[in-house]
Structure 1
Amino acid sequence: MSHTLLSSPLQGFTDFKFRNAFNHFFGGIDTFYAPYIRLNGKMVIKNSYKRDIALENNTELEVIPQIITNDVDEFLFVSKYIRELGYKELNWNLGCPYPMVTKRGMGSGLIHDSKKIDSILHRVHNESDVLVSMKMRMGYENPEEILDTLPILDKYPLKNIAIHARIGKQLYKGGTDLGAFQKCLDNTKHKMYYNGDITSVAAFKELQERFPSIDHWMIGRGLIADPFLPSMIKNNTTEYPKNKIDIFSEFHDRIFKEYDAALSGPTPIRMKMLGFWEYFSQSFENPQKTYKKIKKAKSVKNYTIAVREILKEAKR
């Protein structure tokens, strides 16, 4: 079976600068989901969101905008905006696990409220021609929550449901619940995408064997930790390119340069790259030592020196 690989949206990481650089240097991703648009009750779309999904910033990619909300008027407002840009699909985030979101009844904190989900989808499908897809967890408190919501979702012509096989309160800790994911497959008519812990070619193959009906696979943190992973999955190989470090170095330098130009001052760019290295370091021989070296660099100059040392050592 052929398979489609999708980039899961990660707030603060997978914006258009990252997406374009990733696609140029690594490839392997068929569709990128943009990090969510959040309005917070004001019918105004921030400039950062506008830039992220602007067509001129996504000329070589297939990108799907995403919204996080529990308010139908916000949903309709964003639907209208993205439709005017030319996008046909809007993904609804019912997966975000972070307490600052879930405590406000959004993200995975909304999954248990099937009545509200029903009322929002009812109006959206009656008042907009946008194609809706879902990005979900299996619940916030327990994986049974989604089973009460799936019959509601079956009422609507959703494009697909992508499920991260954890519950919200886990954040990213503990293992995925593959048994609970299977229950989701057994209890919906919709096309399902799998998301969660695709961190190696071997892990992907195990999941393929477990869920032979799935042909769309969403990669999140694993894509940042090992940018070569999607293309390796596509090419059915566990062999890295011989010039792996050179490719990564060029990729790193490009995103560093672009974020440095967009951010004001040395501290924001250093913190931005520190966030990336929390994942990048996992592809190096000693992740803790690698990340510690980056963390200790308290200036841009020292950061640059640390990166060069890490890459030089990796080439030995």
Structure 2
Amino acid sequence: MNQTLLSSPLQGFTDYKFRNAFNHFFGGIDTFYSPYIRLNGKLIIKNSYKNDILPENNTELEVIPQIITNDVDEFLFVSKYVQELGYKELNWNLGCPYPMVTKRGMGSGLIADTKKINTILHKIHNESDILVSMKMRMGYDTPEEILDVLPILDTYPLKNIAIHARIGKQLYKGGTNLEAFQKCLDNSKHKMYYNGDITSVTAFKKLKERFNSIDHWMIGRGLIADPFLPNMIKNDTTEYPRNRFEIFHEFHDRIFEEYDAALSGPTPIKMKMLGFWEYFSRSFSNPQKTYKKIKKASNAKAYSIAVKEIIKEAKNN
């Protein structure tokens, strides 16, 4: 069985600048999901969302746009927009766990509202020919919430359901609930994708052995923490390339330059790269020391020196 690897959409991380650089230096991802489009009650799409899914910004990638909403008019508006760009599929985010989203009844905060989910899907499938796929958690408060939704989803011709095997209120804490994920497999006719804690080749193999009917795997934070991971999974190896840290350094410099050019002032680029290094640091022998060194860099010159020192030390280990 061929294994298809997907990049989970991570807000603030996996935009087109990151996706293109990742694809160039590492590869291994078959399809990228763009971070969600959110309209906030107005039928206006922000330029940052538009730029992220423009075909000319994703020429070498297969990308699926994503929406987060609890409003059917917003869903229809975005569906029409992405279709005008040539996209045939729109992914609906019912997975975001963050309180600023869930308290407004979106993301994983919408899973318990089966009536609204049904109403939105009914209208979308009657008024649009967009292909709909789902990205979900198993609930917000309990993993049983999704079991009430799955029979409703079974009545629609969804492309697939990608499930992150946690509940929303966990955020990213605690382990995944594999027993609850199995119940999802047992209670849906739809094609399921697995998402959650694919952080190493060994972890992937254990999941593949347990869920042998799954052939689509979504990697989120693990992809940023170890950019070599998807390609290593594809090649069934735990061996890194000899020039591992040179490749990472080139990748880092490319995204730094692109974000630095797009962001105004030293503070935004520092915060942007700090976010990445929270994950990047996990690929180094002493993650805390690595992250602390980046955090202490007070300006662009100090940051560049810190990165070079980190890479040099890693190559010498």
TM-score by length of 1: 1.00
1:198 aligned residue:
198
Q: Secondary structure at the match of 1:315?
A: helix
What are the equivalent positions in structure 2 for 1:98-117 lying under 5 Å apart?
98-117=98-117
Alignment size in residue pairs: 316
Structure 2: which 5+ residue stretches go unaligned? none
Q: Secondary structure at the match of 2:227?
A: coil
Alpha-carbon distance between aligned partners in 1 of 2:84 and 2:315, rounded to the nearest angstrom:
48
What are the equivalent positions in structure 2 for 1:220-259 lying under 5 Å apart?
220-259=220-259
2:129 aligned residue:
129
What are the equivalent positions in structure 2 for 1:1-316 lying under 5 Å apart?
1-316=1-316
The one-letter code sitting in structure 2 at the alignment partner of 1:230 is: P
Q: Post-superposition, which runs of at least 4 consecutive aligned residues in structure 1 deviate over 4 A?
A: none
Q: Secondary structure at the match of 1:92?
A: strand
The one-letter code sitting in structure 1 at the alignment partner of 2:298 is: K
Alpha-carbon distance between aligned partners in 1 of 2:298 and 2:282, rounded to the nearest angstrom:
21
Write out per-residue CA displacement over residues 175-220 of structure 1, whole angstroms, 9 at most, x where no aligned residue: 0000000000000000000000000000000000100000000000
The one-letter code sitting in structure 2 at the alignment partner of 1:304 is: S
Alpha-carbon distance between aligned partners in 2 of 1:86 and 1:173, rounded to the nearest angstrom:
38
The one-letter code sitting in structure 2 at the alignment partner of 1:190 is: H
**How far has the Cα of 1:294 moved from its partner?**
0.5
Write out per-residue CA displacement over residues 230-255 of structure 1, whole angstroms, 9 at most, x where no aligned residue: 00000000000000000000000000
Write out per-residue CA displacement over residues 248-296 of structure 1, whole angstroms, 9 at most, x where no aligned residue: 0000000000000000011111110000000000000000000010011
Alpha-carbon distance between aligned partners in 2 of 1:207 and 1:310, rounded to the nearest angstrom:
32
Structure 1: which 5+ residue stretches go unaligned? none
Alpha-carbon distance between aligned partners in 2 of 1:275 and 1:211, rounded to the nearest angstrom:
32
Alpha-carbon distance between aligned partners in 2 of 1:26 and 1:42, rounded to the nearest angstrom:
38
Alpha-carbon distance between aligned partners in 2 of 1:225 and 1:309, rounded to the nearest angstrom:
19
Q: Secondary structure at the match of 1:162?
A: strand
**How far has the Cα of 1:79 moved from its partner?**
0.1
Write out per-residue CA displacement over residues 147-195 of structure 1, whole angstroms, 9 at most, x where no aligned residue: 0000000000000000000000000000000000000000000000000
The one-letter code sitting in structure 1 at the alignment partner of 2:197 is: D
**How far has the Cα of 1:102 moved from its partner?**
0.1
**How far has the Cα of 1:300 moved from its partner?**
1.2
Alpha-carbon distance between aligned partners in 2 of 1:137 and 1:97, rounded to the nearest angstrom:
8
The one-letter code sitting in structure 1 at the alignment partner of 2:167 is: I
Alpha-carbon distance between aligned partners in 2 of 1:161 and 1:289, rounded to the nearest angstrom:
39
Alpha-carbon distance between aligned partners in 2 of 1:77 and 1:303, rounded to the nearest angstrom:
42
Identity %: 85
Alpha-carbon distance between aligned partners in 2 of 1:154 and 1:303, rounded to the nearest angstrom:
51
Q: Secondary structure at the match of 1:169?
A: helix
